[in-house]
Homo-oligomer: A and B are copies of this chain.
Amino acid sequence: MLQTETEQRIIASAEKLFYRKGKAGSSMQDIADDAGINRTLLNYYFRTKDQLFEAVFRKALSGFVPGLASLLKSDMSFREYMPRLIETVIDTMLENPQIPIFVLQELSSNPDRMPQIIKEMGIDPAVALKKLESEQSKAPGAHLAPRQVIINLLSLCIFPFAARPVLTEIFFNGDNAAYIAAMKDRKRLLPQVVENFI
Contacts and interface: CB of A to CB of B under 8 A. Distances in A.
Interface of A: 20-25, 98, 101, 104-105, 107-109, 111, 114-115, 118, 123, 125, 144-145, 147-148, 150-152, 154-156, 158-160, 162-172, 174, 182, 185-186, 189, 192-193, 196-197
Contacts of A164: 108, 111
A163 to B, nearest CB: 6
B148 A111 contact: no
Contact of A154 (B25, B115, B147, B159): B159
A-B pairs, top 7 by smallest CB distance, nearest first, are A24-B25, A155-B159, A111-B165, A159-B159, A24-B24, A114-B169, A196-B196
Could you tell me the dominant secondary structure of chain A's interface residues?
A: helix
Contacts of A123: 170
Contacts of A24: 21-22, 24-25
A193 B158 CA distance: 18
A64 B62 CA distance: 32
Contacts of A171: 125, 147, 150-151
Contact of A182 (B147, B172, B192, B193): B147
Contacts of A197: 192-193, 196
Contact of A118 (B101, B169, B182): B169
